[in-house]
């Protein structure tokens, strides 16, 4: 199995690589188009600010490449948000794989949401063996609204989509690589898809 | 619901934990990686590693430690102590740290907070504030609480939030080491004043103190060292008691 973690110059991707190592799988960090196209599974990571991340994605020429992938792709945190049509962060256009807008939490709650929260209404093989209301680690200021592609929701200010899926594209707002054993199970499930 | 977090803090010198730690039967209680794994197993929500190294040579071993922790531990962790440049932070994040905590360097050059949050995102920038009451005012101190500054806690907290801090770790020097409970009045005031998460630190002695800091202090997380390291409070028992008090925790 060839697992590629998209390396386009953002954030802490080492943690994701380490998490797969713990599962006995070595992941390749790459921004090489051929390497990505020939991968069996792809992780689309992201932390930081949306517009600069999109710019980096553009500068390494990955925008169209990602959209056309047919193998399972897992967007994590900002990676998930960038797969959406648009985000309020830096008023940025995303990849448009999911036809939803990413919005900012209001100041009625602390922003960023930081810590462990539950995921519920689980509807995907990604969550095999994960019980309803399992805790996941999240750090984010922007969220994806609940929509027809939701495969998990989480309550912070209101219920929002903490995981989404369309065809081969999966997105999770939480960090499975930092969510203890349950998070590792989700990564294993992704490998098993 | 977002849960309240319990955060053990480990002091590190030359890549090793200092102060005795004896809450579990570890062969090498000075090994931060083994300790961190153990804490992750028993339900700690996050970890903080505070580098108290005095020399540059000792500090270099910190990066190696961070790399090992990131490889083996599956919960988030923050690294603090002696961080003063964008390059320092870049190196730590590249080794797998999730967040960094800055203190004196932010006081000396507040723009550092802006630079870090712009480059790496607010989510990984924790500003640690050490303060104690002087003539009825919360006076911010630097260099591990040894040097008083002209800054006042609440003004400084507002400022670091405005500059892009993602979280504030507030240590009351009046409470630190006393085991009389957290500085809940100041903590509640902080939460009312800023809209980023607040970690309470200093004063943990009993389970009740944690209950109080979440209810009265409105803290988002509570950090402690010795009560956990010496097994005086077991994290699972603590979380059960918090839940009995209707405080949302990950159990």
B92: nearest CA partner in chain A: A12
SS3 of B28, please? coil
pLDDT at B217: 98
Mean residue pLDDT across chain B:
92
Interface test with A, best of B43, B123, B249 (most A CBs within 10 A): B123
pLDDT at A40: 97
Q: Calculate mean pLDDT across residues B75-93.
A: 94
Architecture of domain A3-192: 3-Layer(aba) Sandwich (3.40)
CA-wise closest residue to A152 among A180, A182, A191, A192:
A182
Contact: A117, B3; criterion CB under 8 Å: yes
Among A47, A141, A180, the residue with its CB nearest the CB of B75 is A180
Among A49, A111, A177, the residue with its CB nearest the CB of B195 is A111
Q: What percent of chain B has pLDDT over 70?
A: 95
pLDDT at A72: 98
Contact: A12, B123; criterion CB under 8 Å: no
* Res B22 pLDDT > 70: no
pLDDT tens by residue, A120-171:
999 999 999 999 999 999 999 999 999 999 999 999 999 999 999 999 999 9
pLDDT tens by residue, A43-99:
999 887 899 899 999 999 999 999 999 999 999 999 999 999 999 999 999 999 999
Contact: B3, A115; criterion CB under 8 Å: yes
Contact: B123, A114; criterion CB under 8 Å: yes
Interface test with A, best of B33, B92, B121, B250 (most A CBs within 10 A): B121
* Res B178 pLDDT > 80: yes
pLDDT at B23: 52
Question: Which of chain B's residues have a Cβ under 8 Å away from the Cβ of A117?
Answer: 1-3
Does residue B193 sit at the A interface (CB-CB below 8 Å)? no
Residues of A labelled catalytic: 77, 175, 177
**Residue B26 pLDDT class (50, 70, 90 cuts):** low
Chains A, B: CB contacts under 8 A, how many? Answer: 95
pLDDT tens by residue, B192-250:
999 999 999 999 999 999 999 999 999 999 999 989 988 899 999 999 999 999 999 99
A10: nearest CA partner in chain B: B120
- How far off is chain A from B65, nearest CA to CA, in Å? 14
């Amino acid at each position: 199995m060839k697992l590629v973690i998209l390396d386009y110059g953002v954030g802490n991707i080492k943690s994701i690589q380490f998490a797969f190592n713990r599962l006995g799988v070595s992941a390749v960090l790459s921004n090489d188009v051929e390497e990505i196209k020939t991968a069996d599974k792809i992780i689309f990571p992201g932390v930081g600010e949306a517009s600069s991340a999109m710019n980096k994605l553009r500068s390494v020429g990955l925008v169209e490449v990602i959209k056309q992938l047919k193998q399972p792709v897992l967007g994590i945190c900002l990676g998930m948000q960038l797969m959406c049509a648009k985000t309020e962060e830096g008023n940025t256009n995303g990849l448009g794989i999911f036809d939803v807008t990413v919005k900012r939490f209001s100041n009625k709650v602390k922003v960023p949401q930081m810590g462990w929260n539950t995921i519920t209404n689980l509807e995907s093989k990604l969550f095999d063996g994960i019980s309803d209301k399992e805790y996941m680690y999240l750090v984010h200021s922007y969220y994806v609204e609940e929509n027809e592609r939701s495969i998990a929701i989480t309550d912070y200010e209101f219920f929002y989509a903490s995981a989404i899926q369309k065809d081969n594209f999966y997105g999770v707002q939480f960090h499975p690589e930092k969510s203890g054993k349950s998070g590792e199970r989700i990564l294993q499930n992704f490998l098993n898809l | 619901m977002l849960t309240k977090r319990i955060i053990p803090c480990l002091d590190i010198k030359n890549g090793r934990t200092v102060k005795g730690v004896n809450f579990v039967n570890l062969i090498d209680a000075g090994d931060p990686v083994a300790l961190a794994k153990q804490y992750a197993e028993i339900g700690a929500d996050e970890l903080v590693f505070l580098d108290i190294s005095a020399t540059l040579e000792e500090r270099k071993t910190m990066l190696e430690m961070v790399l090992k922790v990131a490889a083996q531990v599956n919960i988030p962790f923050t690294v603090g102590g002696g961080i003063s440049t964008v390059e320092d932070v870049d190196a730590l994040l590249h080794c797998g740290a999730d967040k960094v905590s800055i203190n004196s360097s932010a006081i000396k050059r507040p723009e550092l907070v802006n630079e870090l949050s712009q480059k790496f995102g607010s989510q990984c920038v924790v500003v640690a504030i050490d303060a104690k009451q002087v003539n009825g005012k919360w006076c911010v101190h630097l260099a591990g609480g040894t040097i008083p500054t002209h800054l006042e806690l609440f003004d400084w907290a507002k400022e670091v939030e405005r500059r892009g801090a993602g979280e504030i770790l507030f240590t009351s020097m009046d409470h630190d080491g006393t085991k009389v409970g957290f500085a809940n009045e100041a903590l509640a005031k902080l939460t009312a004043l800023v809209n980023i998460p607040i970690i309470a630190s200093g004063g943990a002695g009993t389970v009740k103190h944690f209950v109080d800091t979440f209810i009265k202090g409105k803290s988002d997380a509570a950090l402690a060292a010795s009560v956990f390291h010496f097994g005086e409070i077991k994290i699972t028992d603590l979380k059960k008691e918090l839940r009995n008090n209707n405080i949302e925790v990950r159990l």
